[in-house]
Structure 1
Amino acid sequence: MTSSDTEASPVPVRGARIRAPRPSSKPNGQWRIDGTAPLNANEEFKQADGGLNVRERIERVYARDGFASIDPTDLHGRFRWWGLYTQRKPGIDGGRTATLEPHELEDEYFMLRVRIDGGQLTTEQLRVIAGISNDFARGTADLTDRQNVQLHWVRVEDVPEIWRRLEAVGLHTTEACGDVPRVVLGSPVAGIAADELIDPTPQIDEITSRYIGDPELANLPRKFKSAVTGHPSQDIVHEINDVAFVAVRHPELGVGYDVWVGGGLSAVPRLAERLGAWVAPEQVADVWHGVARIFRDYGYRRLRNKARLKFLLADWGAARFREVLETEYLGYALADGPAAPRPTAPGDHVGIHRQKDGLFYVGATPIVGRVSGPELARLADLIEEHGSTRLRTTPHQKIVVLDVPEDRVESLVRGLDAIGLSARPSLIRRGTIACTGIEFCKLAIVETKANARRAVLDLEERLAGVELDAPLSVHVNGCPNSCARIQTADIGLKGQLITDDEGKQVPGYQVHLGGGLASYDREEPGLGRTVRGLKVAADGIADYVERVAKRYAQDREVGESFAQWAHRADEEALR
């Protein structure tokens, strides 16, 4: 379903003063100020032919004639609009990542991202994903920290059949990648948690049904990330999204949403800011649409590394952003509203919890998000054997099984353990996530999944006697782009080449310490600190984490979190 977007001029709010856009001295590619003439190759190909249009060529030409028939601009550009990236050719080491051209790095296979808005799945849908993994992706499957599932080793010849299977059960890959509105994160316990303020599912459904696949929003300056939660744990990492809605109770207007804009990590991290506005549930889709169009019309397009919404917000500030939203895009003023209170519980939903209807939900973690087609098929069977047909993915690479009768909970937990999903994980397993890494990603410098898995299994033994009050978050990333959110972890590891004791360049990680987002054990969200020269070899994760965790346990003050300690500790203690 698409929407029209035909406004020719700003719609004034009564009494508001409209400021006419002024041309900048150096054009930034802002459509509403500089015009729409493309200023780089990416903008040229997007204007020449919209990314959504490539689907027909995939189905009619490329799937028939094979990889060699794919137009290079489609392959390296428009394919992303349908969740497809070429994956890394095996055997190319990280030292060559920045020196080779895309066609030299890529294999003739694809990563395919299945879009799962709100993380909501049925066992029927899960079984279809498992079948696709087994039939077309060599059994691969990764749970991402944006609630999607990624498959690998996909051939272009098989993509139409994959789409047919997904769409038959209400799933798709539309705008799973590209300069478009990506998946909308949602609370994994939406509609079932006893303590939620509001079920955000209707708001997520309205956004996705109205605007995903809309050609008017299919050429944004860069990716556009969204999140909506009604749960007091604030379980959607809202501070690092372009736009996010966090449930809050207004003293006069009731339950609605607090709006955040302009968050993002990568090489230039920036936490989102509150607009100070309270949004009623029925206003959410319109406000989301307004923010997306601000990004489309005013976002910087000249330089790709400055094209995220966070750079516009940094220049404008929250007050001006809200003014433009209200005057030019909504046509009315939003109510002022309070900030949501600090979370009182973890937002990963791991463990056993009672639902509002008396049934239970069970949150379980794989190791660093790596699962497989056979495991997903077994999971679907297991859930149905225990009387349920619903599950959720989370922004923390976890799975949540819903609607479990109380007398079946322990049996489910044992079954989850048997397929590598722990509902009672160690704190280190619970807190560790990893991006795709050099195994499949063309941007990566270092391996992540295998290194992190080995570290988790090792640390479960090494830290067995160490007293930790909360999960120790260890985020492992294969490059500086922070898909695994390294700057917001207790211990963030950024992949890079480092120099070993013999003067050789080897795979390793730069260390970030003490980052974190909204949390029950943290006063304020903040980014991690770096210690000059502190780097860890790729095979040394367990050694470093053991050393710094034991030092924290030894030196911390009563009630002090790892992040608090890491920011006050001297550099010697952190090495």
Structure 2
Amino acid sequence: MPPSSAQPGKSATAAKPRRRRGEGQWALGYREPLNKNEENKKNDDGLNVRDRIVNIYSKAGFDSIDPADLRGRFRWFGLYTQRAPGIDGGKTAVLEPEELDDRYFMLRVRIDGGQLSAAQLRAVAEISRDYGRDTADITDRQNVQYHWIRVEDVPAIWDKLESVGLSTMEACGDTPRVILGCPLAGVAEDEVLDASPEIFQVNEDHIGSPLFSNLPRKFKTSISGCSSYCTNHEINDVAFVGVRNEAGEAGYDLFVGGGLSTNPMFAQRLGTFVRPDQVSEVWAGVCSVFRDYGYRRLRTRARIKFLIKEWGAEQFRRVLQDEYLGYELPDGPAPELDPGLERDHVGVHRQRDGKFYVGFTPKVGRVSGTALLRIAEIAEEHGSDRIRTTADQKLVILDIDEDRVDSITAALESEDLQVNPSTFRRQTMACTGIEFCKLAIVETKGRAATLIDELEKRLPDFDEPLTINVNGCPNSCARIQVADIGLKGQLMMNDRGEQVEGYQIHLGGGMGLTSSFGKKIRGLKTTADDLPDYVERVLRRYQAQKQDGEAFATWVGRADDADLT
């Protein structure tokens, strides 16, 4: 039986995980919705909202939208209402959803594997220019995100995207979201294998299927053969990580249950070796376990990480094999992580075919339709038809002849798209923030951009690897817990007794060989205005105290708390 249609309870030998029925696990026979979100999904599949958007809402306008669609099912096609202007962060958790809603939408374009042709990028750019007030953000999930979208324009936007093979389907919602992949898939000199076929197969087989359109919560996937591990397998719900087994065959190690937000957990290895031709059915099996055994009572406990935390990797693997796959996966090797590798693919590097790729840095992922059009033009002018987005809010152009490298570098940098950026420009990320996000408490993009500018002036010779991630709320879209310096937005009192925007500080987080979540020191926070002073002070102490070759996170682990404040 194929895993996408597998039903639980088919194996008499399978261990039967048990939780009280109050968790709403379908596999235990409990189907009655336990919260408003589950009731909304039971009433109508989110995929069905497309027809209403095209045939009703786009014609009758914003006021015609059913609230259950507006704040629920619209997400199945990448649409969220954006934050109404002028609402300060103190009201984020106080006002009702309809009071926070603007009449415009954020729209997220799904870009599986981060792979774009010049024609696709041009279409994405023209939509931004024509329908989104020239807004566009490169996200840390390899998507492009617009703002100021009117529901009246959505059908035309979809038509344009679909004409070049792109979509917004399941870009949000309780669905399998975009599949992360290495932007250098198929061209990197040192990759384990090209995962592009597996990414496209999973997309073709399962994305948009009603079998997986009602999951307990969002479900994030990465499939990559990158030897730099640029898709951050440690924090995905399911991750296929390129490895070679003892026979030298290329395949995947399987990780399940990573995620951050307010309860961060690293994914657990199942210890299996998955052949490339098995990836689609194994992915469907993992997703089916989540669908059927995932906790649906509380939204805050509905991610797959809570299930695998309770079961453990061994029991999850047993249920996956016995109830969904119908066969055992062989044991396999773990990936060989290197603590010194940077994962972002920025700069100029040789491809396996002798050509070069050029990775470059928009500031904190913020671009525009105009800028994206220019990137497409620059790529084509230099003989490339392949542009890639990364999981760190960056872009890469592939297939540049060696004698055109200097020219394309100059063209990009003339648009303030840095190929040889400072540490601060290269490794600072920011979420959407209060400008558009209804969950945010503070501003992020502008603050992060200002921080970069200030640090480049104050510490012009700082060249150590250092990640600074800025988030507008506790939900960690910008991965604050795994940054060297993670900044979580909050409101606080300044020295004059005024309530102002500020950040709680996490220090020394990271992924890779020494994965750890950032250290929190009691009471350690800074106002937004004082943020550059704080970061400069800590980095100067690090420079003064670090041992030869010592990473920032390692120094944080041994430094006195007084040196971190």
2:253 partner amino acid? D
Tell me what 1:102 maps to. Answer: 97
The AA in structure 2 aligned to 1:517 is M
Q: Which residue of 2 aligns with 1:373?
A: 369
Match of 2:494 in 1: 500
Once the two structures are superposed, residues 438-483 of structure 1 have per-residue CA deviations (whole angstroms, 9 ceiling, x without a partner) of 00000000000000001101111111134x332x100000000000
Alignment of 1:513-528 (within 5 A): 513-518=507-512, 523-528=513-518
1:301 is paired with a residue of what secondary structure? coil
Instruction: Pick from 82, 86, 98 the counterpart of residue 81 of structure 2.
Output: 86
Q: Deviations over 1:30-68 (max 9, x none)?
A: 100142111111100101000000000000000000000
Match among 32, 48, 57 for residue 52 of structure 2: 57
Offset of residue 21 of structure 1: 5.1
Choose the corresponding residue for 1:552, options 525, 542, 552.
542
Name the counterpart of 1:134.
Answer: 129
Q: Is the 8 A contact 1:204 1:228 kept in 2?
A: yes
Are residues 1:246 and 2:241 paired?
Answer: yes
1:158-181: CA deviation from partner (whole Å, max 9, x where unpaired): 000000000000000000000000
Percent sequence identity over aligned pairs: 58
Does the CA-based 8 Å contact 2:556-2:564 persist in structure 1? Answer: yes
- Once residues 11 and 355 of structure 1 are traced to their aligned partners in structure 2, the CA distance between those partners, rounded to angstroms, is 47
Kept in 2: contact 1:387–1:403 (CA 8 A):
yes
Q: Which AA in structure 1 matches 2:362?
A: P
Show structure 2 runs of 5+ residues with no match.
none
1:280: which partner in 2?
275
Aligned-pair Cα RMSD in Å: 1.2
**Aligned counterpart, 1:7:** 6
Contact 1:11 1:330 in 2 (8 A): no
CA contact (8 A) 1:452 1:541 kept: no
Match of residue 33 from structure 1? 28
Q: Is the 8 A contact 2:3 2:288 kept in 1?
A: no
**2:345 alignment partner, one of 349, 363, 381:** 349
The correspondence for 2:167, drawn from 163, 172, 180, is: 172
Cα pair 1:4 1:216 within 8 Å, conserved: no
Correspondence 1:246-265 to 2 at 5 A: 246-252=241-247, 254-265=249-260
2:432 to 425, 436, 441: 436
Q: Which residue of 2 aligns with 1:474?
A: 468
Question: What is the TM-score normalised by the length of structure 1?
Answer: 0.96
| 1:255 Cα deviation from its structure 2 partner | 1.2
Q: SS of the residue aligned with 1:336? A: coil
In structure 2, what is the Cα distance between the partners aligned to 1:404 and 1:238? 29
Partner of 2:147: 152
2: CA distance, partners of 1:493 / 1:413: 32
Within 1, Cα distance between the matches of 2:21 and 2:352? Answer: 56
Distance in 2 separating the partners of 1:556 and 1:94? 38
2:479 is matched with which residue? 485
Of residues 224, 227, 241, the one that matches 1:229 is: 224
Alignment of 1:275-354 (within 5 A): 275-343=270-338, 345-354=341-350
Distance 1:156 1:124 in 2: 25
Q: Report the residue type matching 2:108 in the other structure.
A: R
- In the other structure, the counterpart of 2:181 is 186
Whether contact under 8 Å (1:21, 1:33) holds in the other structure is: no
| 1:266-302 Cα shifts (integer Å, max 9, x gaps) | 0110010111111111111111111100000000000
Residue from 421, 432, 444 that aligns with 1:425 = 421
Alpha-carbon offset, residue 11 of structure 1: 4.3
Aligned partner letter, 1:565: W
> Which letter maps to 2:374?
R
How far 1:545 sits from its partner (Å)? 1.2
Runs of 4+ that moved beyond 4 A: none
Match of residue 511 from structure 1: 505
Amino acid at match of 1:536: T
* Aligned counterparts of 1:380 and 1:490: Cα–Cα separation in 2: 33
Q: Supply the AA of the counterpart residue of 2:388.
A: R
Distance 2:17 2:442 in 1: 45
- Deviation of 1:392 after TM superposition, in Å, equals 0.4
Cα deviation per residue 1:210-266 (whole Å; 9 max; x = unaligned)? 000001100000000000111110110111100001111111261111110000000
Q: Which amino acid aligns with 2:283?
A: W
Code of the aligned partner of 1:328:
E
8 Å CA contact 1:10, 1:329 repeated in 2: no
Shifted more, 498-507 versus 414-423: the winner is 498-507
Give the deviation of 1:9 after TM superposition.
Answer: 4.7
1:541 corresponding residue in structure 2 = 531
Q: Confirm or deny: 8 A CA contact 2:195 2:223 kept in the other structure.
A: yes
How much does 1:335 deviate? 0.7
Deviations 1:321-361 (A, max 9, x none): 11111111111111111111113632100010111111100
- SS for the counterpart of 1:287 is helix
Name the SS of the counterpart of 2:23 in structure 1.
coil
Tell me, in whole angstroms, the C-alpha distance in 1 between the residues paired with 2:120 and 2:75: 22
1:270 has 2:265 as partner: yes
Secondary structure class of the residue paired with 1:530: strand
Displacement of 1:418 in angstroms is: 1.3
1:202 and 2:197 correspond: yes
CA distance, structure 1, for counterparts of residue 14 and residue 311 of structure 2: 15
- Is contact 1:435–1:478 with CA below 8 Å preserved after alignment? yes
TM-score (norm. length: structure 2): 0.98
CA contact (8 A) 1:179 1:222 kept: yes
Q: Give the CA deviation at 1:430.
A: 0.4
Deviation at 1:187? 0.5
Q: Is the 8 A contact 2:254 2:270 kept in 1?
A: yes
- What SS does structure 2 have at the residue aligned with 1:27? helix
> Aligned pairs, how many?
563
Provide the secondary structure at the position in 2 that maps to 1:45: helix
